Amino acid sequence: MRTVRLPDLLIEVDNDLRFTDHFLPPAQRGGRDAEDVCTLLAVVLAHGCNLGLHTMARITRASPTSSSSGSAIGR
């Protein structure tokens, strides 16, 4: 069985279902910004792992790959 990183899976599912559109204001739903989508997915991940938003923000700022995670959005 192959290993899949959870953030990559969330991005893949969002690319197919666009479920993060429901968390964006109506004016932003047509032109999704990768940074906004990544922020929403980080919140979903933090909530699912029972992390607070402060902890998740601190973790993602410290991560060297946090800025590259948005590159797969919209593929």
Beta-carbon contacts of 61 under 8 Å, excluding residues fewer than 6 positions away, are none
> What is the DSSP code (8-state) at residue 32?
-
Whole-angstrom distance, CA of residue 69 vs CA of residue 67: 6
Q: Is the pTM of this model over 0.75?
A: no
Rounded alpha-carbon distances, angstroms, from residue 72 to 1, 34, 62, 67: 23, 9, 20, 11
Question: What is the average pLDDT across 16-43?
Answer: 86
Distance CA 17, CA 20 (A): 8
In this prediction, residues 20-26 reach a mean pLDDT of: 87
pLDDT tens, 34-70? Answer: 888 888 898 888 888 888 878 877 877 755 554 444 4
Element (H, E) at 33: none
Higher pLDDT, 27 or 40: 40
